[in-house]
């Protein structure tokens, strides 16, 4: 039995013994604090490659000259999530569980590869895929200990929720809450991606993709804290470790200054520092990337201006779940809907405008338009003994336009139904890694609370 499992069982044993002597009326909190939700997630995803082929699905079995440049998938997912309360006593015991299934509505071997549907060994999208799991949790005062399968939103290890099934982490997690501080730590031994049916997939990275080079990462850990959002300045710090690969520091400092009724000035600075560690299996790393965003809010309008810069010979990389195609561990201002603008030595700026379209009689309708432009990408000095060598050229340039519409039904039998439409245009030269694409995503999400 692994040492982590033995430790968790030992910690939970007093609670289990206490449960055996508890009266039925003492279980009120365990039952009344339980929550059961059924989530419907429907997504249409279309991506048109303007300067290269689609290398996924059946295309990868064809000569490059015969591959198309188009991906399109449409899927429907059902996610059932259960969260219990805690048993009585100083040490409270509880359980969380989930079961989820995704179904193909439309796609084909030549059009698959958006990360929405699972793909079989012949390059065809599967008709369905899913997973089930859960975790055991222990409460003592304001602290929680969890072991099993769960989601995480830490800036150095965040699950991807942008597809119809989410990413899932497996391991041990500790959280604590005080009046002005949230503390979190975790040790993870497996990550499952959105298209995987197994709960214990690989720990990978989005850019290096070590599994393609026969490299298995054994674990990932992090420790960090967030100050409460009702403080004048909000501070976050996280330290992450990818076994025999890197240590990563994250720092965020944010502030919103009220200027008067309906007016405010926002100020946010974010920084990542990544250094190789242990066997340095991804190669030498000495990466620094930061962003600074200023925003002005006036009533239903918000205008944002941001600048981001990378100081490194390698791109800023982050943890990927399972197959390494998806991850969200990049909390920077210019990490856009498609490109992260995180190339080696890259500089980028962003101009964004958001508006709540209440004047249309739909106060829950939000629109945003964003333009970003990056330049100075230079990967020619990436270490030759690392996995990032050859990913970027010299003098890379690109830009992206994002148009996003979001609406949430405020009342009625379909209250909280979320509708979202996103159009992306990205163009760049050959020296940057993201290519040129047109992308459309249509999403419908409906959370139905059962308990």
Please confirm, yes or no, whether 127 is among the known catalytic residues.
no
**Catalytic entry in 107, 329, 339, 348:** 329
Our CA angle for 336, 229, 147, nearest 5°, is 80
CB atoms within 10 A of CB 22: 13
Q: CA-to-CA distance for 183 and 238, rounded, in angstroms?
A: 10
- Nearest Cα residue to 135 out of 177, 186, 182, 183: 186
For 182, the token pair is 């949230």
Q: CA-to-CA distance for 185 and 330, rounded, in angstroms?
A: 18
N- to C-terminal Cα distance for the chain?
Answer: 35
Please confirm, yes or no, whether 329 is among the known catalytic residues.
yes
CB atoms within 10 A of CB 396: 23
Please confirm, yes or no, whether 389 is among the known catalytic residues.
no
**Catalytic entry in 34, 151, 187, 255:** 187
**Catalytic entry in 26, 244, 354, 438:** 244
Please check whether residue 332 is in contact with residue 348, taking contact to mean a CB–CB distance below 8 angstroms: no
What are the residues facing 45 on neighbouring strands?
73, 441
Q: CA-to-CA distance for 147 and 339, rounded, in angstroms?
A: 34
Q: CA-to-CA distance for 424 and 440, rounded, in angstroms?
A: 6
User: Positive or negative CA dihedral for 305, 395, 437, 320?
Assistant: negative
For 127, the token pair is 């008709």
Q: Catalytic residue numbers? A: 187, 244, 329
């Amino acid at each position: 039995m692994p040492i982590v499992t033995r430790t968790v069982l030992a910690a939970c044993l007093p609670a289990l013994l206490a449960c055996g002597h508890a009266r039925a009326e003492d279980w009120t909190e365990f039952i009344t604090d339980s929550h059961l939700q059924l989530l419907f997630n429907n997504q249409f995803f279309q991506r048109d490659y303007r300067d290269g082929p689609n290398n996924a699905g059946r295309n990868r079995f064809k000569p490059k000259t015969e591959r198309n440049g188009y991906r399109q998938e449409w899927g429907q997912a059902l996610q059932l999530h259960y969260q219990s309360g805690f048993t009585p006593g100083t040490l409270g015991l509880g359980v969380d569980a989930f079961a989820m299934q995704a179904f193909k509505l439309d796609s084909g071997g030549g059009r698959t590869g958006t990360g929405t549907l699972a793909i079989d060994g012949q390059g065809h999208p599967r008709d369905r895929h899913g997973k089930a799991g859960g975790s055991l949790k222990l409460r003592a005062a304001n602290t929680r200990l969890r072991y099993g399968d769960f989601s995480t939103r830490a800036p150095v290890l965040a699950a991807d929720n942008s597809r119809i099934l989410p990413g899932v982490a497996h391991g041990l997690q500790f959280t604590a809450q005080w009046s002005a501080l949230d503390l979190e730590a975790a040790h993870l031994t497996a990550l499952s991606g959105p298209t995987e049916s197994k709960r214990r997939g690989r720990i990978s990275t989005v850019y290096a993709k070590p599994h393609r080079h026969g490299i298995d990462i054994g674990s990932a850990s992090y420790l960090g804290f967030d100050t409460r959002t009702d403080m004048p300045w909000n501070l976050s710090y996280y330290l992450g470790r990818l076994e025999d690969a890197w240590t990563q520091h994250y720092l965020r400092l944010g502030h919103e200054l009220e200027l008067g009724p309906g007016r405010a000035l926002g100020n946010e600075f974010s920084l990542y520092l990544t250094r190789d560690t242990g066997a340095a299996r991804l190669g030498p790393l000495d990466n620094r990337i930061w962003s600074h965003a200023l925003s002005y809010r006036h009533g239903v309008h918000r205008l944002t201006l941001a600048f981001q810069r990378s100081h490194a010979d390698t791109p800023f990389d982050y943890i990927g779940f399972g197959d390494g195609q998806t991850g969200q561990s990049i909390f920077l201002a210019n990490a856009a809907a498609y490109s992260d603008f995180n190339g080696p030595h890259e500089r980028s700026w962003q101009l964004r405008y958001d508006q709540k379209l209440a004047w249309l009689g739909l106060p829950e309708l939000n629109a945003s338009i964003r333009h970003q432009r990056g330049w100075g990408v230079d990967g020619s000095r990436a270490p030759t003994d690392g996995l990032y060598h050859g990913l970027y050229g010299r003098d890379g340039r690109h830009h992206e336009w994002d148009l996003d519409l979001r609406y949430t039904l405020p009342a009625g039998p379909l209250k909280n139904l979320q509708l979202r439409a996103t159009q992306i245009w990205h163009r760049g030269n050959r020296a940057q890694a993201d290519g040129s694409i047109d992308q459309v995503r249509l999403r419908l999400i409906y959370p139905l609370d059962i308990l």
